[in-house]
């Protein structure tokens, strides 16, 4: 394998033993048919099944183009991708999920756009095979993201994306801890593009993303690229303060001029509970931003690589 292959494929793996054999069968023929040098970097993100065993066997079968990063624990998809980004050699880098929902056969579509001069190419899923709930939730989150950030993506949940090497280098230098890699790449890109790609049902197993993890991922996207949540909360708090002040004036009018104190105590309790809840939301929101700063400042090791399989 050349020291600097033209293409690097990055695939995070977490408990995908049922999908990996089929992925190998479909991925390598596609890459062999491109007529350019390549490498495939798998990051085993602390899998508890036979994923590492299968990756090791694939490395032994194709050591010329296969590399494996093995984490000692589960650090999440973001860290798995970042670990591979820090080790890629190719001039063009493509990310791909291991569950085969984004077919490897669609990779040439992205490379065509890269060859046309784009430094970042995002895929968007055609005829999505997800559940109705996940599809609607994705559309809602896309709307929220477009209204609160400057990131323009048709489908932020599609993993199949291509990046030129300068974009990858910028992502690595950023030292980002919790952020959304496609959005970060978009912010560094000078000429982004999108292309529609096929979407298939998951070949086997279930999604490794829980509902909570999906919420966290999108919360990271919004808070990592915009101050809009803080600004919206500030305006909402100001509106609540103005409304509360007006209500106090109304209650004072009833008490002083109409000698009616029946509306006072319970109304004030209602106002108090409402304002306390607003304050708690605000504290949590501010804590998210402060927590991000803390994670960057403490400079703690983000992940630990137990083993690296590669041909020097």
DSSP 8-state code for residue 36: S
> Two tokens at 225?
């690229």
Separation CA 38–CA 9 (nearest Å): 8
pLDDT digits (tens, 9 = 90+) for 17-29: 999 999 999 999 9
Q: Is 294 left (phi over 0), alpha (psi -120 to 50) or beta?
A: alpha
Strand order in the sheet with 305-309: 192-198, 120-126, 161-164, 92-95, 7-13, 38-44, 66-71, 305-309
Predicted confidence at residue 260, as pLDDT, reads 67
What is the distance, to the nearest Å, from the Cα of residue 60 to the centroid of all Cα atoms in its chain?
A: 31
Sorted by where each begins, the domain ranges of the chain are 7-210+302-309, 228-298
Predicted confidence at residue 69, as pLDDT, reads 97
Separation CA 305–CA 83 (nearest Å): 9
Contact 10, 88 (CB under 8 A): yes
Predicted confidence at residue 195, as pLDDT, reads 95
Separation CA 306–CA 57 (nearest Å): 17
| Superfamily (CATH) of domain 7-210+302-309 | Spore Coat Polysaccharide Biosynthesis Protein SpsA; Chain A (3.90.550.10)
Q: Give the residues of the chain that fall short of pLDDT 50.
A: 1-2
Predicted confidence at residue 52, as pLDDT, reads 96
Separation CA 234–CA 230 (nearest Å): 6
Q: What angle do CA 261, 266, 270 make, to 5 degrees?
A: 135
Contact 251, 264 (CB under 8 A): yes
Cβ-based neighbour number of residue 37 at 10 Å: 18
pLDDT digits (tens, 9 = 90+) for 232-291: 777 777 777 777 777 777 777 777 777 766 666 666 666 777 777 778 777 777 777 777
């Amino acid at each position: 394998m050349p020291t600097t292959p033209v293409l690097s494929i990055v695939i995070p793996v977490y408990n995908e033993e049922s999908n990996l054999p089929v992925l190998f069968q479909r991925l390598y023929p596609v890459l062999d048919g491109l007529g350019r040098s390549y490498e495939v970097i798998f990051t085993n993100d602390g899998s508890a099944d036979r994923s590492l065993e299968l990756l090791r066997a694939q490395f032994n079968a194709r050591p010329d183009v296969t590399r494996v990063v093995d984490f000692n624990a589960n650090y999440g998809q973001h860290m798995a991708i970042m670990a591979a980004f820090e080790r890629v050699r190719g001039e063009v880098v493509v990310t791909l999920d291991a569950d085969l929902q984004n077919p490897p056969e669609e990779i040439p579509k992205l490379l065509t756009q890269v060859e046309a001069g784009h430094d970042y190419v995002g895929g968007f899923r055609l005829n999505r095979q997800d559940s109705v709930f996940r599809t609607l939730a994705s559309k809602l989150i896309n709307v929220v993201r477009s209204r609160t950030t400057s990131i323009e993506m048709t489908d932020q949940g599609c993993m199949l994306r291509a990046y030129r090497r300068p974009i990858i280098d910028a992502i690595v230098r950023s030292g980002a801890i919790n952020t959304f890699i496609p959005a970060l790449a978009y912010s560094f890109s000078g000429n982004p593009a999108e292309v529609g790609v096929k979407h298939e049902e998951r070949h086997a197993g279930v999604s490794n993303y829980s509902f909570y993890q999906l919420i966290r991922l999108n919360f990271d996207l919004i808070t990592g690229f915009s101050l809009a949540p803080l600004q919206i909360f500030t305006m909402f708090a100001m509106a609540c303060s103005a409304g509360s002040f007006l209500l106090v004036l109304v209650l004072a009018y009833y008490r002083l001029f109409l000698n009616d104190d029946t509306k006072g105590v319970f109304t004030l309790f209602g106002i108090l509970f409402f304002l306390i809840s607003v304050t708690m939301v605000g504290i949590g929101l501010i804590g998210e931003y402060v927590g991000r700063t803390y994670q960057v400042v403490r400079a703690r090791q983000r992940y630990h690589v137990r083993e690296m399989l590669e041909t020097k």
